[in-house]
Amino acid sequence: MKTPACKTLWRGPCIDGVTHSLVSKFLQCRERFRLYVMDGLKEADRFNRSIEYGNMFHLCEEMAQQGMEWEGALEKYAEDLCVKQPFDQEKVYECANTCAAQFPVYESYWASHQDEEQRQFLMAEAKFEVTHKLPSGRLAVLKGKWDGVDLLTGEEKEVWHKENKTKGDVDVVNLGRRLAFDSQTMFYATAFREWQDQDDYGIPVRTPDAVCNPFAGVRYNVIRRPLTPGQPDSIRPHKATANRPAESDGEFYQRLRGLIEAKPETYFYRWRVRITPEDLAVFVAEFLDPVLESLCDWWDWVTTHPDPFEDGGGGLHWRHPNGLYNQIDNGYDPYEGYLRDGSRVGLCEAETVFPELI
């Protein structure tokens, strides 16, 4: 692995390492990725409700897991975000107030559930850095942050990784079955299994001995975001009428909380998805290793060629054009069953790869 002659924001997958986010950006567009990791160019920060609601909910759960007060932490996060994005203060506080209305219902809903009664908390929001050996012999560094790791004490003691997601709409049918080859879930699971095998864990764990128990899989924890357009709870504050004043913010969010409390099962979902050593081996062999080898080769190319498009980009560098469509990310993928267990449901024999030319 060569070191670039010029100063870059990133020093490559074998020195600074890769996160799931970096892998995603690499797969999307090599030229945009180069501008980001080498020149340090990125999209200007803009308020994104989906992302920030997830950040806020993550923060509340992290504080609660550690027995700390979450309300003040949420308020502080919102205040800091308003400083960074002063033109979106109204949206920031709407997001924070919605989270403050939903999170207590979330805690209450799961408090007496068997999933919680059998759970022994090990760590939350734990940053990891794990060395992963590639078939070429190169060592890539996997980096990230696990949402949570718990020991479940049912018939057997097993370690489960908890992954939290907030979604505007929850596709119950497709979500669970896609997780066994989900890029982020399996990236984190691979890193965790390899981290378990290290002699020095290097990450604070509440009960170190418990981490030695078998890794079983992921507890996928999904929270549906309230006030999402098109959903039944997409309500708005009552305006003033001749008989009553306008609904205050406090009254509005109390009404929203009532809607969540009335049907909590439509807001909070959990799946336990077992991930076997064979599942991890398939993910590593069919996705992670090929992509990381390609990333290492690409890095060698762009750090030694001032014009990365020279000689056809070395077969490694390209710019993603507009107008491409990827149905894999659109919810339905007929190849999923065949790749998983050989099922041909939804597939048929192709007579040509150029049907438009017949």
What is the Cβ-side half-sphere exposure of residue 267, based on CA atoms within 13 angstroms?
27
Structural tokens at position 93: 């506080």
What pLDDT score does 104 carry?
Answer: 97
What pLDDT score does 350 carry?
Answer: 82
List % helix, strand, coil for the chain (3-state, nearest 5). 45, 15, 35
What pLDDT score does 176 carry?
Answer: 66
8 Å CB contact between 46 and 85: yes
**CA–CA separation, 356 vs 354, rounded Å?**
5
State whether residue 111 is helix, strand or coil.
helix
What pLDDT score does 59 carry?
Answer: 94
Angle at 288 between CA 62 and CA 147, to 5 degrees: 5
What pLDDT score does 181 carry?
Answer: 85
Runs of H (alpha helix) within 238-288: 249-262, 277-283
202-205 CB contacts, 8 Å cutoff, 24+ apart: 202/129, 203/123, 203/126, 203/127, 203/128, 204/123, 204/126, 205/122, 205/123, 205/149
Structural tokens at position 221: 């924890």
**In a structure prediction context, what are the per-residue pLDDT tens digits for the chain, which is 358 residues long?**
444 555 788 999 999 999 999 999 999 999 999 999 999 988 878 899 999 999 999 999 989 988 899 999 999 999 999 999 999 999 999 999 999 999 999 999 998 777 777 788 888 888 899 999 999 999 999 999 999 899 988 778 899 999 999 998 887 777 766 777 899 999 999 999 999 887 555 565 556 677 788 999 999 999 999 998 888 888 999 998 888 899 999 999 999 999 999 999 999 998 888 999 999 999 999 999 999 999 999 999 999 999 999 999 999 999 998 888 776 666 667 777 887 788 888 888 888 766 777 7
What pLDDT score does 337 carry?
Answer: 80
**CA–CA separation, 292 vs 318, rounded Å?**
17
pTM: 0.86
What pLDDT score does 348 carry?
Answer: 87
Handedness of CA 10, 13, 16, 22 (dihedral sign): positive
Give every CB contact of residue 273 below 8 A, 6+ residues apart in sequence. 176, 179, 180, 185, 217, 218, 219, 220
Structural tokens at position 62: 């992290």
* 228: exposed, middle or buried (Cβ count in 10 Å: 0-12, 13-18, 19+): middle
What pLDDT score does 345 carry?
Answer: 87
In eight-state DSSP terms, residue 356 is G
**CA dist list (Å): 297 to 6, 28, 71, 203, 294:** 18, 17, 47, 31, 5
Range 199-227 burial, b when 16+ CB lie within 10 A, else e? eeeebeeeeeebbebebbbbbbbbbbbbb
**CA–CA separation, 43 vs 16, rounded Å?**
21
**CA dist list (Å): 275 to 26, 211, 335:** 26, 16, 20
**CA–CA separation, 54 vs 50, rounded Å?**
6
